[in-house]
Amino acid sequence: MAHPQPRAHVTQIPAYVPGRPPTARPGLTSYKLSSNENPYPPLPGVVEAANAAVATMNRYPDMGNAGLYDALSARLGVPPTQLAAGTGSVALIYQLLTAFCDPGAEVVYAWRSFEAYPIAVTTAGATSVQVPVTADGRHDIPALLAAVTDRTRVLMVCTPNNPTGPAVTRTELDTLLAGVPPHVVVVVDEAYVEFVRMDDAIDGLVVQRAHPNVVLFRTFSKAYGLAGFRVGYAVAAPEIAAALRAVSLPFGISGVAQAAAVASLAVEAALLERVDALVKERDRVVAGLRKVGWQVPEPQGNFVWFGLGDRTVEFAAAAEEAGIVVRPFAGDGARVSIGEPEANDRIIQVAAKFRDALDG
């Protein structure tokens, strides 16, 4: 019997696999290091702003995100016409591909990279062109340029790269932009930009001002600790920002989320002190892993990458036995978030035992 059929490409959409919560273990505190969440709770001023907004939950949120755009405009030094908000930066990926990709258009990006990219590309009816990262988890700039064709409409640059960790340098990005045709939208996905500590780092706002085809994606989920509220934003040329707003979900960002994001910008200095503490903890974890024999790619986000190949699932199981849930990508590796010091100590211990087993 005939029945309704979705569009053909819908059946090809890969499933998004979220980080699992930890399994409770008697006598052992469990930790979730699978979703790159900020382990710190929100600051008091943010909680108060969110609570105040709850009192008006009977009203629709501001569809124009005016307060959020004004706060971002003041913080970033760009006019509101260059801003577009979405329910997390992942929503902006969908919006951009909807706005700029006809069926069959090509979208170029490094792989392995953010898991949502192939999902969003397939949802848009476009075609993924995946360019393998280098052995140390970096974007292969010459290979990305070689992958651009006359069918390319979007090129995604995830920096720092999720899940492998390294960030693209300004020199690398300049080389890429010099070789990409101006009609191709180049997304610089900076979900973890606040955690970057390296020489020749990208200043995304400067790059965007110099290149009208560049779009910055940023989020309040990671450094700002608002993962549960889903607020992301783009900085782009006015025409591109308008296109992103045109295809956005009406009333997508709740009033509570908008209030929390604005309040987070107001107490940004205190929040960024926490980011500094997480970066120090990241450095401590990397030093501990190297001491026990691991050579992880240079992490510039709030996570580290274990390139384990076929041993990935085994490593994830060992971590779970120790009360730590990580994010395995079967056949490739495992991403482990930087969390509470006790959780980080435990993952170093797990990694040391696993290293011994590999060597043995």
Do 320 and 17 contact (CB within 8 A), yes or no? no
* 333-337 β-sheet, strand order: 303-306, 333-337, 327-329
CB 220 within 8 A of CB 226: yes
Map the chain to HEC letters: CCCCCCCHHHHHCCCCCCCCCCCCECCECCEECCCCCCCCCCCHHHHHHHHHHHCCCCCCCCCCCHHHHHHHHHHHCCCHHHEEEECCHHHHHHHHHHHHCCCCCEEEEEECCCCHHHHHHHHCCCEEEEEECCCCCCCCHHHHHHHCCCCEEEEEEECCCCCCCCCCCHHHHHHHHHHCCCCCEEEEECCCHHHCCCCCCCCHHHHHHHCCCEEEEEECCCCCCCCCCCCEEEECCHHHHHHHHHCCCCCCCCHHHHHHHHHHHHCHHHHHHHHHHHHHHHHHHHHHHHHCCCCCCCCCCCEEEECCHHHHHHHHHHHHHCCEECEEECCCEEEEECCCHHHHHHHHHHHHHHHHHHHC
Share of the chain above pLDDT 70, in %: 99
Average pLDDT value for the chain = 94
What tokens appear for 283 in the block?
């450095």
Higher pLDDT, residue 303 or 44: 303
Lookup result for tokens 């300049």:
174
pLDDT of residue 42: 85
* pLDDT tens digits, one per residue of 131-180: 999 999 999 999 999 999 999 999 999 999 999 999 999 999 999 999 99
Per-residue model confidence (pLDDT) at position 44: 86
pLDDT at 16 over 70: no
pLDDT-derived band of residue 360, with 50, 70 and 90 as boundaries? low
Residue 13: per-residue pLDDT: 73
Mean pLDDT for 81-107 is 96
Q: Which residue has the higher pLDDT, 309 or 2?
A: 309
What pLDDT, on the 0 to 100 scale, is given for residue 18?
A: 67
Give the pLDDT confidence of 246-268 residue by residue, as tens digits.
999 999 999 999 999 999 999 99
Range in 102-106, 130-134, 242-246 with the lowest mean pLDDT: 102-106
Q: Which amino acid is at 278?
A: L
The per-residue pLDDT for 9 is 79
Q: pLDDT category, 1, cuts 50, 70, 90?
A: low
| C-alpha triplet 339, 341, 342: angle, nearest 5° | 105
Say if pTM beats, i.e. exceeds, 0.85. yes
Beta bridge partners of 50: none
Average pLDDT on 183-193 reads 98
Task: For residue range 106-133, list pLDDT tens digits in order.
Answer: 999 999 999 999 999 999 999 999 999 9
137's tokens: 């988890």
Is 60 exceeded by the pLDDT of residue 102? yes
Helix pair 66-76, 255-266: axis angle to 10 deg: 20
How much of the chain exceeds pLDDT 90, in percent? 89
